[in-house]
Amino acid sequence: MSCSRRDFLKDAAGAAFVSSLPLSAFVVLTADEAKAAVANATVRWGYLVDTNKCTGCGMCVKACKNENEIPYDSPVTRTWVERYVVTKDGAIHIDSPDGGRDGFTSDKIRDEEIDPDSIAKAFFVPKLCNQCDNPACVQVCPVGATYKTEDGVVLIDREWCIGCGYCIMACPYGVRFFHPEHKVADKCNFCYHRITKGMMPACVESCAFGARRLANLRDPDDPVTKIITTERVAVLKDEYGTKPHVFYLGLDNSVR
């Protein structure tokens, strides 16, 4: 076996680099950090979507894009509305043109004409970030650019994100996308700048039908929390174990 001095040096430097990476990941909690971990337990944001009330006007998508400076004509959005039309033969037709930004003004689904007499049921399902308790997107971030705040909202640090896209692949709900201007991952954060000022998220504010509502799950007197805790609600893709915190009333089995 031969090993030149140059090769040996190269290998040694490489090994030292690799072995130092896990070392740098060890962080000891300071007293202040430990205190912060248990404090501020008075707020945990949740969200309630009543699919029975949604009319598919898409005002929420429009408001979200304007409020959060998401390029209006780019095919990306933090929230979107899906239309489901189930016909009597059991076929399910789904569409969401431009994420429902301009509403649903045509009865055609993907250029397909559907006979109104053949429709068994039709409904609209708004989707947004589920602000999971076990967010898969946060687990996979290699640089600590996305994280869960104490009030349960998952945020993205635009300064720190390197745009690798792992989180976009990891989210089982497909809510993450690549922001075309900031060149980082982006997603709904319940309008964090609004809810921390006592305002409602832009989508909740713009919904004329009360289909979208925000809840503080730690406040038992919150009217929306009461609905979530006392009525029959469902979450999306419960089997993934992500513990989503967007709850749905009237969720149909055909919704994916």
Partner 1 sequence: MKRHVLHPLWVAIGVVGLIFFARLLLVPDDFGVHGDSFTYNYHRLGNIEEWKDFPVKYQGTATCSECHNDNARTHRRSPHKRVQCENCHGPAGNHPDDVEYLPLNKERAMCLRCHADLGYPASTARSNLPAIVDRHHKRGRECVSCHNPHDPREDVE
Judged by CB under 8 A, the chain residues 148 through 177 that form the site for partner 1 are: 148-150, 155, 157-160
Element (H, E) at 75: none
Q: Name the residue nearer to partner 1 (CB basis): 101 or 233.
A: 101
Element (H, E) at 177: strand 177-178
Examine residue 4 and tell whether it contacts partner 1 (CB under 8 A).
no
Q: Name the residue nearer to partner 1 (CB basis): 108 or 237.
A: 108
Q: How far apart are CA 191 and CA 199, in angstroms?
A: 9
Residues 42-71: x where in contact with partner 1 by CB under 8 A, - otherwise, as a string: ----------xxxxxxxx--xx--xxx---
Among 1, 5, 198, 221, binds partner 1 (CB under 8 A): 5
- State which of positions 205-234 bind partner 1 (CB under 8 A): 205-206, 208-211
| Distance, C-alpha 107 to centroid of its chain | 28
Give the nearest distance from C-beta 213 to partner 1 in angstroms.
13
Residues 231-250: x where in contact with partner 1 by CB under 8 A, - otherwise, as a string: --------------------
| Distance, C-alpha 239 to centroid of its chain | 17
* Partners of residue 212 on adjacent β-strands: 49
Give the nearest distance from C-beta 204 to partner 1 in angstroms.
10
- State which of positions 181-210 bind partner 1 (CB under 8 A): 189, 192-194, 196-197, 199, 202, 205-206, 208-210
Examine residue 18 and tell whether it contacts partner 1 (CB under 8 A).
no
- State which of positions 103-142 bind partner 1 (CB under 8 A): 103-107, 116, 119-124, 134-135, 138-139
- Tell me how crowded residue 70 is: count the other CB atoms within 10 A of its CB: 21
* Partners of residue 94 on adjacent β-strands: 84
Q: Name the residue nearer to partner 1 (CB basis): 92 or 120.
A: 120
Q: How far apart are CA 47 and CA 131, in angstroms?
A: 9
Identify whether the C-beta of residue 45 lies closer than 8 Å to the C-beta of residue 86: no
| Distance, C-alpha 60 to centroid of its chain | 15
Q: How far apart are CA 20 and CA 17, in angstroms?
A: 5
